[in-house]
Amino acid sequence: MLRFTVRRLLLLVPVLIGLSILIFVWVRALPGSPAESLLGERADEQSIAQMRDQLGLDDPFPVQYGRYLKTTFVDGNLGVSIASRRPITEEIKERFPATFELTFAAGLFAMLFGIPLGFIAAKRYGTVVDHGSLVLSLVGISIPIFFLAILLKYLFAVKLGWFPSVGRQDVLIDAEHPTNFYVLDGIITRNWEAAWDAVMHLVLPAIALGSIPLAVIARITRASVLDVQNEDYVRTARAKGLPPRTVDGRHVMRNAMLPVATVIGLQVGLLLSGAVLTETVFAIPGVGTWITEAIHNRDYPVLQGGILFIAVIVVFVNLLVDVSYGLLNPRIRLAGR
């Protein structure tokens, strides 16, 4: 198991190098240049040329890339945001908790509703319930996140007023934020109003963001349960006279959950990318809005640092999924040897 994990970790190195090259090239391929975004509208050509020189933007690409690699990976310095003038690592520390909270809530929502939905559909295979759940999950997969977000917001926030429409917390609430995880902060500081309010702010964004993973999970669960249900050992269990609840719980679900677990892991990347849109629509000050604003402001250091950060997170989550899958299913581990 250790060797498997180490091997997977080593594989990360080329992945990260590839990523850093992609991000580096992509950011530089954007229209405009960092010198212009720094100096603003009125800058004349001479000062732009000076700034280009100062920033080394006229150096050959490999030289620039080498410099970037050194500051990013050797010095561990992601730079300073043009827009906020603050170190990028500091901003990530403040903003990532918002994104984490949102993706966590969305993932939770997707699992809590997706698994039972898939299970019920499989158990009622071929009935109205099954077809209904199929249609529902098809709709879930097809509706773009941002559209669903706008729809939910319009209905439940603007029209009905049941949920707040923007942000992470009502600004009129006085709350302390020792960890920047607002729900957790409310609990730690025993400010129940703040914690509850933070949860309320998560409901609509989590539903919007969780809709696609929910549909995917429901479909995989359904297919997997259908598969497992017809396995010999399930038939044997039934034949032994075990009550249906025990058969479902111990034999069907436990085995059916294997592919579902993988899918859940894979959804994390989707959740993080979806968070960019959801955060923008609900004005949640997370990494997603941050990157969107950075594109808008041509905030190159943020784009470089922020995207690298997200990419690394996704890569690591996938690694965790691989490793945990190895734990769940010994066959994978063996193959790794």
Partner 1 sequence: MRKLVKVGLLAAVVTLVAVSAALAASSKSTASDTLVFAGSADPVSLDPAVISDGESFRAVIQIYETLISQVPGTTKLTAGLAVGWKASNGGLTWTFKLRKNVRFHDGTAFDAKAVCFNFDRWYNFTGALQSDAASYYYNVVFGGFKKPEKDAPGPAKALYRSCTATDANTVIIKLKRRFAPFLGALTLGPFAIQSPAALVKYEADKGKLTADGVFQPLGTYGTPGGQAVGTGPFKLESWKLGDKLVLVRNDSYWGAKAKLRRVILRAISDNAARLQALQTGEIQGYDNVEPQDISTVKKSSKLKVVNRPSFNVGYVTINQKVKPFDDIRVRQAVAYGLDRARVVRSFYSGRGIVAHEFQPPSVLGYSTSVPKYPYSPAKAKALLTQAGLELPVEVEFWYPTDVARPYMPDPRRNFQGFAASLEKSGFKVVPKSAPWRPDYLGRVDAGTAGALNLIGWTGDYADPESFLGGVLRADRQFGLDNAIGKKLYADLDKALAEVNPLKREAQYKRINNYIMANVIGVPYVHTEPALGFAKNVIGFKASPTLNDLFVSVRIV
Which one, of 297, 205, 220, 203, lies nearest residue 256 by Cα? 220
CB nearer to partner 1: pick between 4 and 300: 300
How far is 183 from 195, CA to CA, in rounded Å?
Answer: 5
Q: Work out whether 123 is an interface residue with partner 1 (CB under 8 A).
A: yes
CB-CB contact of 312 with 9 (8 Å): no
Note whether 64 binds partner 1 by CB under 8 A: no
- Spell out, one character per residue from 172 to 201, where the chain touches partner 1: x when CB under 8 A holds, - when not: x----x----------------------x-
Q: By CB under 8 A, name the one of 153, 219, 222, 298 that touches partner 1.
A: 153
Are the CB atoms for 200 and 133 separated by under 8 Å?
no
Separation CA 31–CA 337 (nearest Å) = 47
What residues numbered 204-243 form the site for partner 1, per CB under 8 A?
none
CA distance 268 to 259: 15
CB 65: neighbour CB atoms within 10 A? 16
**Among 193, 166, 191, which residue's Cα sits nearest to residue 179?**
191
Helix (H, G, I), strand (E, B) or coil at 191: coil
36 near partner 1, judged by CB under 8 A: yes
In the complex, least distance from residue 188 CB atom to partner 1, rounded to whole angstroms: 17
Residues 163, 209, 216, 306: which binds partner 1 (CB under 8 A)? 163
Residue placing its CB nearer to partner 1 in the complex, 284 or 317: 284
Interface residue with partner 1 among 2, 74, 160, 239 (CB under 8 A) is: 160
- Using CB under 8 A as the binding rule, whether residue 79 contacts partner 1 is answered as yes
Query: Which one of 166, 320, 334, 335 is in contact with partner 1 (CB under 8 A)?
Result: 166
119 contributes a contact to partner 1 by CB under 8 A: yes
Of the residues 24, 96, 181, 282, which one makes contact with partner 1 according to CB under 8 A: 282
Cα separation, 294 vs 37, whole angstroms: 11
Q: Is 287 in the site for partner 1 (CB under 8 A)?
A: no
